[in-house]
Structure 1
């Protein structure tokens, strides 16, 4: 290869890299701006909807985290989208939808094959950990799609424990009504009632103590 051909090839490669880098930046700018139309244009030009940024955050998870629901819609409808692509923390789009209480996005993700029962922290853990109006419906949706009610996180925490410390009374009651086990312990030997006590939530403590009494009717103090 002569010097002129080498320079021409190098220049083309540099231009291609710059174009690729520019599209990558535009992709995440569009998500931050909730620019669904801009994202659709990038996707039509061949942008991978499963792209991650330099912090390992994926487009779908980021859109839900930011509340960029137009951007989410553009991404979730992309032909090449993988609804199970996870960020650097192992969070799936369904986990983020569950955390934020976004029912319609959760429906869409489940319809496209999102894993309701991924290993480790699950969408149900995330849904149970928030006290906001949509969470009871979110928990019900996940259970309807066969979410394992006593799923254990890597440290043995269950959705009931998360609800006891962080969630609403409605979610706590729903989990108990659907069969969540209040006797389970995490790796530190803590039950859901201990989580409620740690958070100083007397109503949750009372509810969980009653549930334990039903499971252990001859245990006196419970």
Structure 2
């Protein structure tokens, strides 16, 4: 979903694509038939059937934050879980649109009306992940207040990556991993760290995001931030862990490797945890005992 990547020109292209699809579908539909663009009929993450197809006019209303128009459509019988396809991602809902376009008031309204907060699109993005990628702390807060699971993991996308590997399309795998699209096991914290949203990283950590969670490729949010060179996110995560005694400072890790027992014991006596870990050379979860054994 191009909006997740923050590409303005791509967003405009998606809007035009969607409106064009709607016009074609309406022209081709027989009287009384429901137009169905590609991707319609997908199921939500919870297994509930979709609410039909979201009209282009209602999508555009959500885009510009026209809450009255969206509510009027819903009151007229429109389904809150109606879905659309932006040309690259299917299973997108009104909530997806409102979150991606930063329409916080509409997000609140849709949640109050029962929008599925745990729904994931075909890329595995939940509403919280989309808000985290965009760096919208206000919407992250709204979602959390309505019960969003800060540690919900992406459950979709692996099939495409696996098939690409089997058929030799490694380039597709590289692109998907670079954009963090379709990678199962992804959390909102990983998304925020990947997209260099340090304020959101801190917000999610304070809401209870699990720093030790790993995606299907074994990557943690901290490793992703380091891989992307996102220093602010690295600092936020390391500070959070260190404040809870769960991260071994580099000087203490070095002392353990050198066999400097006095320095290690001093740190432990000062409140450090014996099961605290650190990362080195792409490896995570390294304890003081492991360092001493090297």
Q: TM-score, normalized by length of structure 1?
A: 0.67
1:87 to 2:152 alignment: no
* Residue in structure 2 matching 1:151, options 213, 219, 227: 213
Distance 2:193 2:221 in 1: 6
Deviation at 1:159, TM superposition (A): 0.2
1:34 Cα offset (Å): 3.1
Q: Offset at 1:153?
A: 0.7
**Is the Cα–Cα contact under 8 Å of residues 121 and 152 in structure 1 kept in the other structure?**
yes
Provide the C-alpha distance between the structure 2 equivalents of 1:191 and 1:64, rounded to a whole number of angstroms: 35
Spell out structure 1 runs of 4+ moving beyond 4 A.
20-23, 68-71, 212-220
Displacement of 1:21 in angstroms is 7.8
Instruction: Assess, with a 3 A threshold, how the Cα gap between structure 1 residues 70 and 216 changes in structure 2: closer, same or farther.
Output: same
How do 1:198-209 and structure 2 match up within 5 A?
none
Indicate if the aligned counterparts of 1:128 and 1:167 stay in contact, CA closer than 8 A: no
Of the three residues 65, 77, 83, the one matched with 1:46 is: 77
Structure-2 change in CA distance of 1:106 and 1:167 (3 Å): farther
The residue aligned with 2:133 is 99
Larger fraction in strand: 2
Distance 1:68 1:57, change over 3 A: same
Q: Matched residue of 1:183: which SS?
A: strand
Q: What SS does the corresponding residue of 1:41 show, helix, strand or coil?
A: helix
Residue 237 of structure 2 is aligned with which of 164, 171, 175? 175
Aligned pairs (5 A) from 1:105-120: 105-119=139-153, 120=185
Q: Is the 8 A contact 2:84 2:93 kept in 1?
A: yes
Change (3 A) 1:73 1:33: same
Contact kept in structure 2, 1:139 and 1:171, CA below 8 Å: yes
TM-score (structure 2 length as normaliser): 0.52
Aligned residues: 181
**Contact 2:52 2:83 survives alignment (8 Å):** no
Q: 2:56 aligns with which of 21, 25, 28?
A: 25
Whether the 8 Å CA contact 2:53–2:82 is kept in 1: the answer is no
- Matched residues in 1 for 2:287 and 2:214: separation? 23
Which whole-Å CA distance do the structure 1 matches of 2:114 and 2:240 have between them?
Answer: 36
Cα deviation digits, residues 128-172 of structure 1 (max 9, x gap): 1123xxx33311221122111111011111100121133632221
